[in-house]
Amino acid sequence: MTIDRAMLDAIGACGDAIVTRAVDWCATQSGSHNADGLAQMLDQLAAAFAPLGATAARVPLADRVEIAADGEERSHPGGTALHLRVRPEATRRVLLTGHYDTVYPSDSPFREVTPRGDGTLNGPGIADMKGGLSVMLAALTAWEARLDAAAIGWDVLLSPDEEIGSPGSAPHLARLARQAQLGLTYEPALAGGSLASARMGSGNFHLVVRGRATHVGRDFAGGRNAVVAAAGLVAALDALNAGRDGVRLNIARIDGGGPLNMVPDVAVIRFNIRVGDAADATWTQTEIARIAAAPLRDGLTAQLYGGLTRPPKPFGPDQQALFAAVADLGATLGQTIRWQPSGGVCEGNNLHAAGLPSIDTLGVCGGDIHSPREFAWPASFVERAQLSALILAAFARADLPGA
C-alpha cells in the first residue's frame, strides 16, 4: 500500500487551523429554522471552500410544508444548499456530503465553544457537524495538492436541512449519488470513534384530529373532544412497539386544547418511527394507516401526514468489504477502526437508498450531540482528515472493494 506521507504531514501541520476554523463556524448560530443564521453560515462555507477551485452553485431547495399546532398546513422556505464540483468530465467520482444546520434555535443560550478540563471542546455543532465540515475541507485541500488529483472528480453537497430530515435536499442527494461510485459523509463518529455500519430507517408523522368546539356548560353533549380522541389514538400507536421486533414508535408531542370551559376541536399527534429493514417499514406504515383510518365517534375525523423519509441502511457484503478496506487504511495511521450499528439516521441513508456505497461517520470523535453537553476531541480533527485523504487516494487507485 502506497502512503503519501507528504499529504498526511501537510494535514498534520494544519491541525490547529482545522480546529480553529470549526470553532469559528460554531459562533454562527445556524439552527434548521434560523434563516438568517443559515444564510451567514452558507456565505462562510462558500468562502472557505473557494480556494479549492470548484465550480460552485447555490441550490435553492423546494419549500417544505409543516403542520402547525392548529392542524393547518404552513409553507416554509426550504433554504439553500451549496454544491461544489471538480472535474465534471471525470467518470470516477466521489460524493462528499454534510450539513450546516444544527439543532439549536436562535434563542438558545448554548452559543460558544469552550475548552473543558478533560481536553475536549464543548460547543454547539462542534461535533455535529461543523467539525466534520472542517475535516472534509482539510482532506480535500490535501488531496488537491497531489499531482495525481485529476484521477478522480468529486462533488460536495452541503445542506441546510439535515436535522429536520432533509426534505429539500433529499432529491439532490439522490441525483448526485447516482453519478458517483463512493459516498463520504461527515457525521460525528459513534462512541469510541466507531463508524456506523447498519442504520435504521426513520420517518416523521403528524396525525391531525378534528372535532367540534362547544361551551362546556351550555352544550357539552354537542361537543366532540379532539384531545380525548387523540388520547385513544396515541394508545393505539404506542401499542405498535410491542407488535414487532425492530420497530420503534415515539410519541414526541401532542398539540391541542384551549380554554378549560371549551370542548377542544383540534389536536395534533406528532411521532417518529424507526425501522430495522424494509419489511419493518412496510408493516409499520400499514399499521399506522390502519389506526388513522379507523372509525371515530360521529363528528370526529383524523388525517395522517408524513411518511418514511430515510429508508433503512443495511450492512451488506459490499459495505462490509468497503469498511474492512477503510480499517486497513486506518491501521497505517495507527488508528483502530471499528464499526457498529446505529439507530440514528443521516444523509448516509439517502445515499444508500440511491445505490451508493458510503461511509457516513467520517467526522470528528466526540459525543452528547443534540444537547448542551455536545463535545469533540481536538486531536481527532487531524486523525479523521488524514483518514479521509487516504480513502480518496485508495479510491483513485481503484483500491476500495465495494466502491
Q: In 56-150, which residue ranges form alpha helices assigned H by DSSP?
A: 130-144
CA distance 26 to 303: 40
CA distance 11 to 289: 52
For 63, which DSSP code?
A: P
Q: What is the dihedral of CA 120, 121, 124, 126, to 10 degrees?
A: -90
Q: Which amino acid is at 81?
A: A
Q: Quick one: 236 exposed, middle or buried, by C-beta within 10 A (0-12, 13-18, 19+)?
A: middle
For 28, which DSSP code?
A: S
Cβ-contact 157, 97 below 8 angstroms: yes
Q: Quick one: 179 exposed, middle or buried, by C-beta within 10 A (0-12, 13-18, 19+)?
A: middle
pLDDT at 1: 62
CA 398 to each of CA 1, 91, 146, 322: distance values in angstroms, whole numbers, following the listed order: 12, 12, 17, 12
Residue ranges per domain, the chain? Answer: 5-199+313-396, 201-310
Q: In 33-105, which residue ranges form alpha helices assigned H by DSSP?
A: 35-49
Residue 230 CA to its chain's centroid (Å)? 30
Q: In 250-370, which residue ranges form alpha helices assigned H by DSSP?
A: 278-293, 317-332, 347-353
User: The sheet that has 301-310: what strands, in order across it?
Assistant: 247-256, 266-275, 201-210, 301-310
Query: Do β-strands 366-367 and 375-376 pair in parallel, antiparallel, or remain unpaired?
Result: antiparallel
**Tens place of pLDDT per residue across the chain (403 aa):** 667 889 999 999 999 999 999 999 999 999 999 999 999 999 999 999 999 999 999 999 999 999 999 999 999 999 999 999 999 999 999 999 999 999 999 999 999 999 999 999 999 999 999 999 999 999 999 999 999 999 999 999 999 999 999 999 999 999 999 999 999 999 999 988 999 999 999 999 999 999 999 999 999 999 999 999 999 999 999 999 999 999 999 999 999 999 999 999 999 999 999 999 999 999 999 999 999 999 999 999 999 999 999 999 999 999 999 999 999 999 999 999 999 999 999 999 999 999 999 999 999 999 999 999 999 999 999 999 999 999 999 999 998 987 7
Max Cα separation, the chain?
Answer: 84
pTM, full prediction: 0.94
Question: Which CATH code is given to the segment(s) 201-310?
Answer: 3.30.70.360
Class of 5-199+313-396 in CATH = alpha beta
